[in-house]
Amino acid sequence: MRLTKFGHACVRIEQDETTLVIDPGLFTEPEAVQGADALLITHEHFDHFTEDQVRAALAANPGLRIWTNRAVADQLAGLGAAVTVVGEGDAFDVGGIDVTVHGEWHALIHPDVPRVGNIGFLLNGRLFHPGDALTVPERPVETLLLPLSGPWNKIGELVDYVREVRPGRALGIHEALLSEAGLGVGARFLGDDGPGTGAPYRYLTSGAGLDLDAV
């Protein structure tokens, strides 16, 4: 299983002949979705999903399939069987990649800001993308994709989140709002110089890849 990081919250997963992309949004390079077999979308916010991009990807590749929550699916009306609505507890297969769905709600931004639905995707019981939430799957996770920055989180909560999930490693994503200095601060607290999370931390720049099968 090969992971490639794209802009902000997007990752591209390749395993054997299957390519799966999670959360291509406004800050994601268009090439991230090219040739993909499936798109998984955690929620409706523009940094994770843009309707025009998804419709264009499907027009270019009619075999593309999309799994997401009800709110996103409603924005993709008219695409028929290409779109499947999933929620907490669901499971499905994409070309030999087993996917389970975890969580229901976006993390709280402020009591006066309405919450939207949010689902996380666990691939092959190994790689977890939580979207915009600190959802803890009820099973071990080898690689946790860790949202570094947003109006709903802070670094102390991320430290505790990694401790609770207890992954084999944490990879930083969701960083479009951070400067280089901000990324460095995050790496300090989440890495060896921080209070300790129990898991090694790494940040991948856009376009960088990682073999998840490598030790």
DSSP code of residue 108? P
Tell me how far apart the alpha carbons of residues 207 and 11 are, in angstroms, rounded to a whole number: 9
pLDDT classification of 214: cutoffs 50, 70, 90: confident
Region 12-29 average pLDDT = 97
| Beta bridge partners of residue 201, listed in sequence order | 170
**Mean pLDDT of the chain, nearest integer:** 96
**What residue ranges define each of the domains in the chain, with the CATH number in brackets?**
2-204 (3.60.15.10)
DSSP code of residue 102? E
pLDDT score of 114 more than 90: yes
pLDDT classification of 213: cutoffs 50, 70, 90: confident
Nearest to 40 by CA among 171, 150, 155, 128: 128
Q: What are phi and psi of 112, to 5 degrees?
A: -90, 0
Label residue 9 exposed, middle or buried (CB < 10 Å: 0-12, 13-18, 19+). buried
Per-residue CA distances from 46 to 14, 16, 33, 72, 202 (Å): 24, 30, 16, 11, 25
| Beta bridge partners of residue 39, listed in sequence order | 21, 66
pLDDT score of 166 more than 90: yes
Amino acid code (one letter) for 46? F
Predicted pLDDT at 215? 55
* pLDDT > 70: percent of the chain: 100
Region 180-199 average pLDDT = 95
Tell me how far apart the alpha carbons of residues 29 and 33 are, in angstroms, rounded to a whole number: 8
Region 91-111 average pLDDT = 97
Residue-wise pLDDT for 36-84, tens only, equals 999 999 999 999 999 999 999 999 999 999 999 999 999 999 999 999 9
DSSP code of residue 151? T
Region 20-42 average pLDDT = 96
Residue-wise pLDDT for 137-158, tens only, equals 999 999 999 999 999 999 999 9
